[in-house]
Amino acid sequence: MNAYVPPKIFPWFNLLSLGFPVLMTGYILLIIFWVFSWKKRAFVFMLAGLLFLTPIKRWINFSSEKKETGSKIKVVSFNTRAGTMGKDEVIHYLKSQDADVILLQEDGGMEYPALKDYNRTASNGVLSILTKHKLSNEKLIKSADEELPAALQADIEIKGKTYRFVNVYLYPFKFEKEMVRLNGNSDANEEKLKDIIKRLIPTFKKHQGQVDLIHENIESSPYPVIVTGDFNSVPNSYEYYHLSKGLEDAFLTAGRGSATSFHDYKFPLRIDYVFTTQSIKAISYVVDRSVSISDHYPVISELSLVEK
């Protein structure tokens, strides 16, 4: 329903999308219970479960190995949390990746002396794009009444062809761990849940305006588009459906295993993405869990570019 119903009209579908892993786990456990109880409804629910295969694959996927065709580039998308967990570590990591394009969220206006060979967009304290290639036409995407930009776009010329990169950072929920950590006190937990919902609903509605603005810019692009970033939204959400409209999810094409990218809470959350114009094919998609230098894991994707 999130593909059709905007949060400003009915935000509760978007709220349910946050609990999709729990809902699906409950669904599967019920089927198993009914199978062992010899209930005919188990088979009905098994067949109905086929409808959820693609939604499940947005969280956990096992794609086949892709063959490399034509020229390719390596793209890294990473919410660095402004280097608060180690600026030197962040810089060293980015340098070691030797990526063609690096798209950073919450970069805090950091300097990257080790990446002096990269061209970089102007610092705005939130979003940065760095590339080894020719960079032009950078533009912040934001509405007049918003303090933070919803996205940063720039055109990058690679091997004589121009591609538009859109680095997304939707408005954050601004939760602290203690705000979402439940304990044995039922009254306190009830108040926490109410406070969480009070924060979530207005943010969903704010996201709707940001998503519409970003989508307009994507639709008007004269070039093939690569969209990455921290969407602060899970798969199956309104934000996911509308920002991926007409694009391919690189994880669905080339990802393997879990796409969980935010690890600060002990709950599976995929909120970082790489989407591409359909003519650009993902060869690989990796959530790099080998480093914990932010509350997000870096997302790395190799893309096969359009050759004409």
pLDDT at 56 over 80: yes
For residue range 2-32, list pLDDT tens digits in order: 999 999 999 999 988 988 888 989 989 998 9
Please report the pLDDT score of residue 102 as a whole number: 98
Range 159-165 average pLDDT: 95
Residue percentage of the chain with pLDDT more than 90: 69
Please report the pLDDT score of residue 199 as a whole number: 81
| CA dihedral sign of residues 98, 101, 106, 110 | positive
For residue range 93-133, list pLDDT tens digits in order: 999 999 999 999 999 999 999 999 999 999 999 999 999 99
pLDDT at 170 over 70: yes
State the burial class of residue 223 (Cβ atoms within 10 Å of its Cβ: 0-12, 13-18, 19+): middle
Domain 60-304 fold: Deoxyribonuclease I; Chain A (3.60.10)
Please report the pLDDT score of residue 237 as a whole number: 95
Please report the pLDDT score of residue 116 as a whole number: 93
Q: How many CA atoms lie within 13 A of 130 on its CB side?
A: 24
Please report the pLDDT score of residue 37 as a whole number: 86
pLDDT at 185 over 90: no
pTM of the model: 0.90
For residue range 202-234, list pLDDT tens digits in order: 999 999 999 999 999 999 999 999 999 999 999
Per-domain residue ranges for the chain?
60-304
Please report the pLDDT score of residue 38 as a whole number: 85
For residue range 60-76, list pLDDT tens digits in order: 998 887 777 668 999 99
pLDDT at 51 over 70: yes
Confidence of residue 175 (pLDDT cuts 50, 70, 90): low
pLDDT at 79 over 80: yes
By mean pLDDT, which of 85-89, 176-180, 285-289 is the weakest? 176-180
